């Protein structure tokens, strides 16, 4: 035994100072390896859809309903199963209805508690008692542990078991106990949550979604380009801030900034009303979710929309000019405008503009902000930097997030691995060095972290902030992956061809087995047993597009969670469930509302596709955690040998 190994074992001996303690831990870890693998839940492209997100999280993409079916089979009617499922999702709201309508409430409590306890037993059965104990609600921990570990059919304990339930009802704690059991079931049915990018933008609920994720028991996040945009904005990067505000304005979500994050937009509103007071801003319509706003509010918000869009085009132009290495000169369009005939030249072609009223643009210096625009953006930047809640959310994204993740033989990322037209990983130059494949992901993530955490005013911070904007919009960004972001064209030009955003070759190449194999190998995975879980590009089911490629080895799970995409996709998103039995892809119908889910017991109808079903049920031994436990067992076995051979003395540490 060498000196380093002996030193390590001495450290381990402090934790396990006797043969008995080391042996007990080996037995414990070895038994854990044989438990069923925990359920993983994958969601992608949430885009602020808080109510649907919350519902899918509560029902585990149908996992709870499957547990109910497994437990009760044909002994419960479909109606009773739906009622039980709704109660588990929304216990407080559902009980308000029950209390109004139920004539014999004590009987309902007794039946319901027995059913919930049965489900609790089933969902907790794959975990150790220690793990379940940590998940128990504090107020009822002892009682729940007794109920889910005792076997009521054993005659000696039957009266004991029933009296616990009778007493809970008699002392008027049944409602609180039902809430505790329901929340415990939600907690245990999913062991780990993956968010495969784009929490932010389009929908109004990104901030409350982040609040939920920050308190979720086990989660990781793969950043989407919209997430990185908000991260850049939180770092104080002006071009990112302008993009964030513009998108909020476009989708009628300025409340997200003003109410959820407390960012004062009055300076922008005042500037917009003064600058564009006589401008109809017809090209800057707003995609309100409900399709309604009073005329005065709509006109006011259109002016804000145009004001921040023009500021964005200028700030991005300044950035492109200062960063020729980004190779985005094709996005410099303000200097290509011909005011005399209201056209713009793009790729040598003149296109008519629907709007050419740009009072803040100096044709001789089109990318310079006016004094008023500079003052507005400095005040807004200060508000972003001082916003405690936004900074807390973004720090959580950095803490739990990354551009990609390898987890239990799955590769998770939002977007693509850029390829060139010859089918090779595209070589991309970042600050003088070439990167491709995994290396490109790694260097971009490294710079993004520097852009937020490096000391203000340093070159590292400036480079990192600019890279966050690059990740948001550059064609070589893995999480964007289109030839251009045609924002200017979509506002001002009607020609659909010039508005199109050509996708990276990746999206055609992934239909080939050899390409998927190459990607998995690039990230150090076995192509025979691994999968790629991919977000970012909505799968247009209504046009016949498919989410599954190469015999289930690659799955695109963006199917339109965001309402803004559902007209294109025809569904309301895909989610993925990976449990000990295999992979299930779940396609969801649009979510009506929380109220409808409770009152009508209308769970989201979901079509389930079994992507992969294993012959032998997967156990903890087959997971990343299992491999870590195997390593711990080997170390403990070395410690045992050291004790038995006399190299170390029990308790002599």
At residue 318, φ and ψ (nearest 5 deg) are -60, -40
pLDDT of residue 549: 92
SS3 label, residue 601: coil
pLDDT of residue 555: 93
pLDDT of residue 66: 93
Give the domain ranges of the chain.
3-34+631-645, 61-192, 206-492
pLDDT of residue 151: 65
For residue 52, the surrounding DSSP H or E stretch is: helix 50-59
In whole angstroms, give the CA distance from residue 237 to residue 231. Answer: 9
pLDDT of residue 150: 67
Residue 170: how many other CB atoms lie within 10 Å: 11
pLDDT of residue 593: 82
Residues 46, 199: contact at Cβ < 8 Å? yes
Number of residues in the chain: 653
pLDDT of residue 358: 97
pLDDT of residue 606: 65
pLDDT of residue 15: 94
Which residues in the chain come in under a pLDDT of 50? none
Measured at the alpha carbon of residue 588, what is the angle toward residues 186 and 510, in degrees to the nearest 5? 110
SS3 label, residue 14: helix
Write down the pTM of the prediction: 0.94
Q: State how far the alpha carbon of 360 is from the alpha carbons of 82, 345, 366, in Å.
A: 59, 20, 9
Residues 604, 87: contact at Cβ < 8 Å? no
pLDDT of residue 42: 96
In whole angstroms, give the CA distance from residue 384 to residue 261. Answer: 9
pLDDT of residue 173: 95
Instruction: Write out the DSSP string of 364-420.
Output: TBTTPPPHHHHHHHHHHHHHHHH-HHHHHHHHHHHHHEESEEEETTEEEEES---B-
pLDDT 10s digits, 453-473: 999 999 999 999 999 999 999
pLDDT of residue 376: 98
pLDDT of residue 653: 57
Closest to 435 in 3D by CA, of 330, 325, 342: 325
Q: Which two tokens stand for residue 509?
A: 């190449």
In whole angstroms, give the CA distance from residue 420 to residue 426. Answer: 5
Angle between helical axes of 50-59 and 78-89 (0-180°, round to 10)? 120
């Amino acid at each position: 035994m060498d000196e380093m190994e002996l030193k390590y074992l001495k450290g381990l001996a402090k934790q396990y100072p006797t043969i008995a303690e080391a042996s007990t831990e080996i037995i414990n870890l070895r038994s854990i390896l044989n438990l069923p693998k925990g359920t993983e839940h994958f969601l992608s492209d949430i885009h602020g859809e808080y109510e649907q997100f919350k519902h899918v999280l509560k029902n585990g993409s149908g996992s709870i309903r499957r547990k109910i079916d497994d437990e009760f089979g044909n002994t419960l009617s479909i109606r009773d199963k739906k009622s039980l499922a709704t109660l588990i999702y929304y216990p407080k709201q559902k009980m308000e209805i029950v209390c109004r309508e139920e004539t014999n409430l004590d009987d309902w409590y007794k039946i319901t508690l027995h059913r919930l306890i049965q489900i609790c037993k089933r969902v907790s059965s794959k975990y150790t008692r220690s793990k379940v104990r940590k998940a128990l609600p504090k107020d009822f921990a002892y009682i729940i542990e007794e109920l889910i570990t005792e076997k009521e059919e054993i005659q000696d304990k039957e009266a004991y078991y029933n009296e616990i339930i009778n007493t809970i009802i008699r002392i008027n704690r049944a409602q609180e106990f039902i809430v505790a059991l329901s929340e415990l079931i939600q907690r245990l049915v999913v062991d780990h949550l993956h968010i495969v990018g784009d929490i932010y933008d389009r929908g109004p609920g990104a901030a409350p979604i982040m609040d939920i994720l920050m308190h979720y028991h086990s989660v990781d996040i793969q950043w989407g380009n919209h997430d990185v945009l908000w991260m850049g904005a939180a770092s104080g990067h002006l071009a990112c801030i302008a993009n964030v505000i513009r998108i909020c304005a476009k989708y009628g979500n300025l409340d997200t900034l003003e109410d959820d994050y407390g960012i004062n937009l009055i300076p922008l509103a005042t500037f917009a009303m003064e600058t564009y007071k006589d401008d109809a801003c017809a090209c800057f319509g707003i995609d309100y979710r409900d399709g309604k706003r009073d005329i005065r509010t709509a006109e006011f918000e259109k002016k804000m929309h145009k004001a921040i869009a023009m500021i964005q085009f200028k700030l991005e132009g300044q950035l492109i000019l200062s960063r020729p290495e980004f190779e985005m000169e094709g996005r410099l369009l303000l200097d290509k405008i011909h005011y005399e005939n209201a056209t713009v030249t793009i790729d040598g072609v003149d296109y008519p503009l629907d709007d050419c009223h740009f009072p803040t643009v100096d044709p001789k210096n089109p990318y310079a902000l006016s004094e008023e625009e500079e003052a507005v953006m400095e005040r807004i930047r200060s508000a972003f930097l001082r916003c405690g809640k936004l900074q807390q959310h973004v720090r959580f994204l950095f803490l739990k997030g990354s551009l990609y993740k390898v987890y239990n033989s799955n590769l998770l990322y939002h977007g693509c691995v850029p390829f060139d037209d010859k089918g090779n990983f595209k070589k991309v130059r970042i600050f003088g060095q070439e990167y491709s494949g995994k290396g490109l992901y790694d260097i971009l993530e490294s710079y993004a972290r520097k852009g937020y955490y490096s000391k203000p005013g340093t070159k590292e911070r400036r480079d990192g902030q600019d890279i966050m904007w690059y990740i948001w919009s550059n064609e070589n960004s893995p999480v964007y992956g289109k030839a251009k972001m045609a924002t200017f064209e979509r506002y001002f030009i009607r020609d659909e061809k010039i508005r199109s955003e050509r996708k990276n070759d990746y999206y055609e190449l992934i239909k080939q087995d050899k390409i998927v194999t190459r990607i998995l190998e690039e990230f150090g995975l076995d192509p025979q047993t691994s999968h790629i879980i991919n977000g970012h590009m909505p799968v247009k089911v209504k046009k016949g597009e498919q989410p599954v490629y190469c015999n289930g080895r690659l799955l695109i799970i963006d199917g339109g969670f965001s309402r803004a995409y559902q007209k294109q996709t025809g569904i309301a998103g895909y989610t993925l469930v990976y449990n000990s039995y295999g992979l299930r892809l779940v396609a969801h119908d649009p979510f009506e509302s929380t109220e409808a889910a409770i009152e009508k017991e209308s769970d989201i109808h979901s079509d389930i596709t079994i992507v992969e079903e294993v012959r032998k049920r997967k156990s903890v031994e087959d997971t990343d955690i299992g491999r870590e436990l195997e390593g711990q067992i080997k170390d403990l076995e070395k410690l045992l040998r050291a004790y038995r051979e006399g190299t170390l003395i029990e308790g002599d540490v």
